[in-house]
Structure 1
Amino acid sequence: MYIGRRLAYLRRKRGFSQEGVAAGVVSRGHYSNIEAGRYRALNDILVSLADKLDVPANYLLQWESSSPVLEHYLIKLQYCLDNYEYKEAESFIQTITKEFTYINSLHQEIHFLLLESLFYIKIKDYHRAKGVIEKVQYLTDEGKMVPACLKYLFYYVTGAWFYVAGFYEKSLENFKTALEKASSKNSTARLYYNMALALYETYDRGKAAEYGKKALEIFINEHKWLHIIYIYLLLGVIHWDKREYSESEAYLHKALDLVKVYGNDELEGKVYHNLGLVYDSKHDKEKSIKYLILSVDKKLADNCESIIITYGVLAEVLISAGQITRAGEVVRAAREYAKSEEHFSMLMAIEAKIHYTRENWTKYEEIMERLITYYRESERWSDVKLLSEEYSEYLGNRYKYKDAFYYSRAALEAYRKLAEKGGGIR
């Protein structure tokens, strides 16, 4: 049956019908039975099919034969992914792709595809990850034919894919299935951490913290310091979100102490960013600005994509601290790193606040109307609701009652849209 899935994948990829690929080799009915796993094809038939499908004969003949060299590479690749060594992981993927254009062993091919898709998920290349995962799903018949020794990895990767795709409940289901098949403390801890991330996204902050602490306990006992930094960071975010600022501050400083020892600019930038948020919530603007500037510096050194978000938060804090000129300078610096409409709209919203503070009413109104129009066209109803309510109140205070009514209606429309999608006030 396994070879049938490979044949079906190759046939569809080459654009053949069953009748087309079978012509001159076997009857269409016999071929259909081979694909479905009802008959085991003779070697001479597989050789002829390989020729038709333009693949080496051994790719169909030796699908049960493993390569010790490839197995060694796969173990190394797994290690690199488990320990955030992505440059080394990429090097192994390139080596495997070059040396094994066709991986004869179906077991090893599925193993490699799972690790390759996990690599693309981790480096946020979701387009390539999607293509690889679709191949895995096809070869394994949606997971029904995964070899027993790969079931943990299959459900782990599938859970990770559903997480980045925003399907958090499905992500949790797959992580829970993987947990049943985990064979080591490290595997269990990684799943606890991933489950904490998914639970956080489902607004179950209490359980997210619970699973985060379970992972933390194991990783501390195993001396996995880089993993511990990530968990401290997550727990800091969870407690900040719960408005437990002292607990958040404590976890983030623990993360900072470790990250300085192990030297990781990206992680250090994230810790500084979140400390900036914590101190802003504690109304310590001086410390908030200090840590956000440190975050910007680290993210500049690491060429980190999220620098635009830190610039935005820094500008907001500067505005609330009354440092309007500095906020304007930060927005101007941030424009260089804006890569999407979402980024530009975020900076426009900050510019609107700067103009409001300076009482540049014409400019403020122009930007607000452009922003609300953009958010409505993009169906970003939370943003429409928030900005329309703010702008309607402003217009009412300026005695522009007709316009105020129009934007209050826009806010109401957004509220209804959110309610329809189950996205009302939480």
Structure 2
Amino acid sequence: MHIGKRLLYLRKKNSLSLEQAAQGIVSSTHLSNIENGRFQPSDEILQLLAKKYNVPEKYLLAYDKKDPQIDQPLKEVLFFLITDKTAEAETRLKKVREKGFIPHLEQELEYNILHTCMLVKKNLPYEEELEKLNLLVSGDELEYPSYVHQCYAYLMEQISFRQGDFEKCYHYIQIFLKYNLPPSVYATIQFHLLIILFHLRKRILAVKQAEKGLKIFFQNHQWKFVTETYNILLAIYWTEEDYETALNYGKKALELAETFKFEDTKSRVYHNLGITYKSLKMYETAEEMLAKSIELHRKANQFPRNSLWSILDMFAEIDDKEKFAHWYQQVEPDDEEFFYLYVKMNPDKIGEYLDKLDKLAQKAEKDGRWDLAVEAYHLLSKYFYKNRKYKTAIRYYQKIICIHERDKKTLWKKIGFTVPLSFFAFAIPH
């Protein structure tokens, strides 16, 4: 690492060209060489640049002097972020920031990476901070001190996860696992790896990872991870249509969730059990499970989108208008996605909502909601085929074919099934 990257960042932050920044100090060529790490600037040059960039001289002159007072707090932040103790992480970052400028290059980089990571964890906008980091960090350069690179690998893994790029996520988590990790962090990352393998459709590897993880979680009495792992195994075996094994894991997950009062997990398990019973055409039991999931979401002041969608979709499929009407009362009036289910339940009214249904399908396709897009396009194609508008029907069928081709290379999104996306905080939408 060299001071040039910081100088490059400061120049761009001040919207100065090389010529403008170098004027009266050095030649633009010399400044370019400094920024690229080819030349080491003198203290005099750094003092003049500090004045031009309106930063304290110490910020540039003391770039290789660590501040021992902030070293330990920075080392603790990553642990708190990984173990989902965001408040503690935020407190320590605030204390570091209160000291003002961080002269030491590595420490400033650690702070910037960890701060960006915290924004990602809190689902806050992070793009501006990431753009700043990209000026200070050169991708996967492994010459960084281990903690800096460890923080960066975790950040990129989190961003990739949020963006749904699970291949890249898998890449970064493998880098992260090369480091010597505390037991609680190691367990958390092992669980996260299981979720990634699930999304990558690597069923055999996911099952093996679950077995490995369960040994670790049992040894450390990490019952939350055990419960969530059982829930993921329920999802895995459901996709394989091995419903007996799926239900077995679901019941284990439910027992633990009830024992330890993991209400958030319990709502997901009830949901997944409901989907499984729905697949078995045990509709009364499916409704009972999904209703319990909905109730738990309501108690937590959360809109039960996944479970409500699944229960309505089930009654639309079996054409139970009475049950559908009962549950549809819980839908918010302006919710466009649930409108699709209303049309599915009332196919005779499709003609009244063609434009609205088309817009919904396009939005679902744009958002990567392949199942919803396909089903909406399918309703439209059937309508136009029935009304002998064959060219329009073919156009919608072509859209469906394109989505199926694209879906071979995209992440797995089964409508209705939920597993945690990141340390129990998220679930797959529908």
Asked whether the equivalents of residues 276 and 289 of structure 1 are also in contact (C-alpha less than 8 Å), the reply is yes
TM-score by length of 1: 0.83
Distance 1:41 1:424 in 2: 49
**Structure 2 match to 1:37:** 37
Give the secondary-structure state (helix, strand or coil) at the position aligned to 2:278: helix
1:366 aligns with 2:352: yes
The CA deviation at 1:15 is: 0.7
> Aligned equivalents of 1:39 and 1:401: distance in 2?
74
Provide the rounded CA distance (Å) in 1 between the counterparts of 2:28 and 2:340.
63
> For 1:328 and 1:69, how far apart are their aligned partners in 2?
63
Amino acid at match of 2:343: A
2:336 counterpart of 1:386? no
Match of 2:134 in 1: 137
The structural deviation recorded for 1:210 is 2.2
SS at match of 1:180: coil
1:52 Cα shift? 1.5
Question: Any unmatched runs of 5+ in structure 1?
Answer: 339-343
Shift of 1:186: 4.4
Cα shift readout 1:162-182 (whole Å, capped 9, x = no counterpart):
222232222222222222334
2:388 is aligned, of 387, 396, 402, to 402
Whether the 8 Å CA contact 1:385–1:411 is kept in 2: the answer is: no
Match of 1:255 among 246, 253, 256: 253
Task: Please report how far the alpha carbon of residue 17 of structure 1 lies from its aligned counterpart in structure 2 after TM superposition.
Answer: 1.5
User: Which structure exhibits the higher relative contact order, with contacts defined as CA atoms closer than 8 Å and separated by 6 or more residues?
Assistant: 2
Contact 1:64/1:106 (CA < 8 Å) preserved in 2? yes
Q: What is the deviation of 1:12?
A: 0.8
* In structure 2, distance between residues paired with 1:67 and 1:249: 55
How far off is 1:241 after superposition?
1.8
2:331 corresponds, among 334, 346, 352, to 334
Secondary structure at 1:334's aligned position in 2?
A: coil
User: What does residue 170 of structure 2 align with?
Assistant: 172
1:355 pairs with 346, 349, 366, which one?
346
**Pair 1:44–1:175, CA change in 2 (3 A):** same
Q: 2:306 is matched with which residue?
A: 309
Corresponding residue for 1:413? 398
Uncovered stretches (5+) of structure 2, i.e. residues with no partner? 413-430
In 1, are the aligned partners of 2:377 and 2:400 still within 8 Å (CA)? no
Distance 1:260 1:58, change over 3 A: farther
What's the CA shift for 1:281? 1.9
- 411-420 or 131-140: which moved more? 411-420
What CA RMSD, in Å, does the superposition of the two structures yield over aligned residues?
Answer: 3.1
CA shift for structure 1 position 22 = 2.0
Aligned length: 407
Distance change in 2, residues 1:394/1:31 (3 Å): closer
Relative to structure 1, the CA distance from residue 191 to residue 137 in structure 2 (aligned partners, 3 Å threshold; closer, same or farther) is: farther
CA distance in 2, matches of 1:173, 1:269: 31
Distance 1:420 1:320 in 2: 25
Question: How far is the alpha carbon of 1:228 from its aligned partner?
Answer: 3.0
Asked if 2 retains the 8 angstrom alpha-carbon contact of 1:156 and 1:178, the reply is yes
The 5 Å alignment of 1:6-405 reads 6-97=6-97, 99-125=98-124, 127-128=125-126, 130-144=127-141, 145-304=143-302, 307-320=304-317, 323-335=320-332, 344-356=335-347, 361=348, 363-367=349-353, 370-376=356-362, 379=365, 383=372, 385-393=374-382, 400-403=386-389, 405=390
Deviation, 1:148, is 2.4
Q: Which shifted more, 236-245 or 377-386?
A: 377-386
- The answer to whether the Cα contact below 8 Å between 2:293 and 2:307 also exists between their aligned partners in 1 is yes
Whole-angstrom distance in 1 between the partners of 2:409 and 2:81:
38
Q: Displacement, 1:283?
A: 2.4
Alpha-carbon offset, residue 351 of structure 1: 0.6
Give the TM-score, by structure 2 length: 0.82
| 1:275 CA drift (Å) | 2.1
Where is the helix percentage greater, Structure 1 or Structure 2?
Answer: 1
Cα deviation for residue 369 of structure 1 reads 5.7
Q: Distance in 1 between matches of 2:66 and 2:217?
A: 33
> Aligned-pair distance for 1:190?
3.6
Asked if the contact 2:380/2:396 (under 8 Å) is kept, the reply is: no
Any conservation in 2 of the 1:137–1:143 contact (CA below 8 Å)? no
Q: Is the 8 A contact 2:198 2:236 kept in 1?
A: yes
Contact kept? 1:237, 1:248, Cα under 8 Å:
yes
2:381/2:394 contact within 8 Å kept: no
Q: Deviations over 1:373-405 (max 9, x none)?
A: 542476557655434444555666xxx4413x2
Contact 2:361 2:376 survives alignment (8 Å): no
SS at match of 2:178: helix
Partner residue in 2 for 1:341: none
